[in-house]
Structure 1
Amino acid sequence: MTTTRAPSGRDLPHPAREEIRLEDVLHALADPLRLRIVRELADEGVELSCSHFDLPVTKSTTTHHFRVLRESGVIRQVYEGTAKMNGLRRDDLDGLFPGLLDCLLTAAGHQAGRHRGH
């Protein structure tokens, strides 16, 4: 796993593009809260801080979910001051697994729509 140097000097490990594995991405996105984070990042289209997300879990559980997403290669995290910013690695995922992310996001949107109707 490579390490990306953040402007603040704090390092966060990220897999290089060629190290991202399909089974790791699918595992990361199999969790409803992680999928929710990715859907929101995709909808916003910009980096968002961890504190932006209002998740119904403890801070330590939230940290775990972001770490799984980062270590699987789904998101990139960098520090900006004291904020940890999260961005979707869409270019890497689309390059490695064409259409996968869009397909999963579309399916998740359909599922969310069905659940709202109940």
Structure 2
Amino acid sequence: MTTPSAPSAAGRDLPHPHRSEIRLEGVLHALADPMRLAVVRRLAAGPAEQSCSALDLPVSKSTTTHHFRVLRECGVIRQTYRGTAKLNRLRRDDLQALFPGLLDSVLAAAQAEAVRRA
């Protein structure tokens, strides 16, 4: 069961799984998609919180929304509203506590693959 995040100033809360509800198969499913992996890589490399518009993807807005929703519902990211912007941040601490080294290993492997393809 997902629980809402802390109330936002605008009253627009998004459901996020509690740490205990995050499952390995869900995280792996979320990270298996190239667009979602690109989002995670950008979040890991940039500021702690980034707006959806800062993570411009080469897909339609509805597809972008779908990718962010999958990442949020699987427990990979946390999304919060700040004014009209939806901010995204990795749930690095939760993922590290549940699956030690997984996120860092996936990010390192994705970087190695990017270098190999270049």
Pairwise same-fold verdict (TM > 0.5): yes
CA distance in structure 2 between the aligned counterparts of 1:20 and 1:45, rounded to whole angstroms = 24
In the alignment, what sits opposite 2:50?
48
**Structure 1 outlier segments of 4+, above 2 Å:** none
Distance 2:75 2:105 in 1: 17
Displacement after TM superposition at 1:12 (Å): 0.2
Structure 2 gap segments, 5+ residues each = none
Question: What's 2:3 paired with?
Answer: 2
Residue of structure 1 in register with 2:67 after alignment: 65
TM-score normalised by L of structure 1: 0.96
Most deviating of 43-52 and 19-28? 43-52
Percent sequence identity over aligned pairs: 67
Distance 1:45 1:23 in 2: 27
Q: Tell me the distance in 1 between the aligned counterparts of 2:94 and 2:58.
A: 29
Report what 2:21 is aligned to. Answer: 19
Q: Give CA deviations for 1:73-113 in whole Å, capped at 9, x if unaligned.
A: 00000000000000000000000000000000000000111
Deviation at 1:30, TM superposition (A): 0.2
- For structure 1, which runs of at least 5 residues remain unmatched after alignment? none
The equivalences for 1:36-115 within 5 A come to: 36-115=38-117
Distance 1:104 1:7 in 2: 34
TM-score normalised by the chain length of structure 2? 0.96
Count how many residue pairs are aligned between Structure 1 and Structure 2.
116
Distance 1:106 1:45 in 2: 18
